Chain A
């Protein structure tokens, strides 16, 4: 029970940053012509912020069919494969039911929280369960708030509360930069992410940055081993 609770507690600052996005998702759903039930159902079943924003925008534009929206969703979410691979050594030891529950609820935010803890104290499945499903509940709840009271809120993303997310991630990132390999990985990821955010569609910049930075890290680690 303690591990579940610890997972929720460590996720709280990031959850605060998720709320304005969930509310915005609810508002966007309605303005694209979805019903409140359809909008909340999407958050409950898909549970992927960026894909939902883009899917809703495509629905609102009225030009895209089933195939195009679903295919775009697949492309936006391909980054989960990378995170799934990095968690696989732990997940493969768990029973299938837990694997399904933990992979269904995997998000960028939960991944960041879980890996920070894994580095400090080792992996714990209950911790991941607490963190991931806390994000699920706050996402569903804030989407619901968005569809209920959305028309009375001017623009939740203008509050500045969305900064809670990068702020918390900075608190997780900075202690990781302890040697030249991790600083090189961080620098490559930063440059590729910024260039990718300018030139690549959707969230492809995350995949590009992760691949470039992981390859950099892998190569530098290898050289290190040869040196000793």
Chain B
């Protein structure tokens, strides 16, 4: 293994760990502020939305609101199924079936 590459990998690993452990290390010193709960209550909803929506609206890296965007169509179907069914496995299965059939039917 080349030492230059190893150093890059170790550097990447170190700063990545820093971002993961940083919040816990900082808050260990100062304790949890009182406003904390209210501001972080909705973070999971925000993270989920930020992970899902760009993947559906920009699957190729640009905004695609056309019927050729299989990710968006399958995403809408999956969202409806998730809202009505409330079952993770079923929703995922339906989602995969819808994207694969859109792909193979070539709509």
Cα distance, A164 to B1, chains bound together (Å): 35
What is the 8 Å Cβ interface bit string for chain B, positions 90-107, against chain A (1 contact, 0 not)? 011011100110010000
Q: Given the complex of chains A and B, what is the CA–CA distance between A47 and B17 in angstroms?
A: 9
- Contact A164 to B11, CB < 8 A, known contacts A46-B16, A88-B32, A104-B20: no
For the complex formed, measure the closest distance between the CB of B47 and the CB atoms of chain A, giving whole angstroms: 6
Taking a contact as CB atoms closer than 8 A, the residue among B42, B47, B70, B96 that contacts A108 in the complex is B47
Instruction: Determine whether the beta carbon of A198 is less than 8 Å from that of B63.
Output: yes
| A contact patch SS | helix
Taking CB atoms, residues of chain B closer than 8 Å to A217 are: 39, 41-42, 45-46
A137, CB-defined interface residue at 8 Å: no
Q: How far is the CB of A181 from chain B (nearest CB, A)?
A: 7
Q: Does B66 contact A (CB under 8 A)?
A: no
Q: How far is the CB of A81 from chain B (nearest CB, A)?
A: 5
A20 to B74: give the CA distance in the assembly, Å.
18
Q: Is the CB of B21 within 8 A of A104?
A: yes
* Total contacts A-B at CB 8 Å: 272
CB within 8 Å for A193 and B16 given contacts A84-B21, A116-B44: no
- Chain B residues within 8 Å of chain A by Cβ, number: 72
Shortest CB distance B93–A (Å) = 8
**Residue B82 contacts which of A16, A85, A171, A221 (CB distance < 8 angstroms)?**
A171
Chain B residues, Cβ within 8 Å of A124: none
How many angstroms from the CA of A182 to the CA of B47 in the assembled complex?
A: 12
With both beta carbons as reference points, the residue of chain B lying nearest to A190 in the complex is identified as: B53
CB distance from A77 to the nearest CB of B (A): 4
Chain B residues in 8 Å Cβ range of A160: 70, 96, 99-100, 103
> In the complex, are the beta carbons of A66 and B24 less than 8 A apart?
no
**With A170-B52, A185-B42, A194-B58 in contact, do A88 and B27 touch (Cβ < 8 Å)?**
yes
What is the CA–CA distance of A171 and B55 in the complex, to the nearest angstrom? Answer: 15
A167 to B46, CA, bound (A): 16
Q: How far is the CA of A42 from the CA of B8 in the complex (A)?
A: 9
Min CB gap B96→A, angstroms: 6
B92 touches A46 (CB 8 A): no
How near does chain B come to A55, taking the closest CB pair, in angstroms?
6
Partner of B88 from the list A10, A206, A218 (CB cut-off 8 Å) is A10
Give A150 Cβ to nearest chain B Cβ, in Å: 18
Which of A77, A83, A99, A192 makes the CB contact (< 8 A) with B47? Answer: A83
* Residues on A facing B (Cβ under 8 Å): 10, 13, 16, 34-35, 37-38, 41-42, 45-48, 51-52, 55, 59, 66, 69-71, 73-74, 77-89, 91-92, 99-100, 103-104, 106, 108, 111-112, 115-116, 119, 160-161, 163-177, 181-182, 185-186, 188-190, 192-194, 196-198, 205-206, 209-210, 213-218, 221-222
Q: Beyond the given A112-B44, A167-B91, A218-B38, could you list 18 further A-B residue pairs with CB under 8 A, ordered by the A residue number?
A: A69-B8, A71-B15, A74-B16, A99-B24, A111-B47, A163-B95, A165-B51, A166-B55, A167-B78, A167-B96, A169-B51, A170-B52, A171-B88, A174-B83, A175-B82, A193-B49, A197-B54, A221-B41
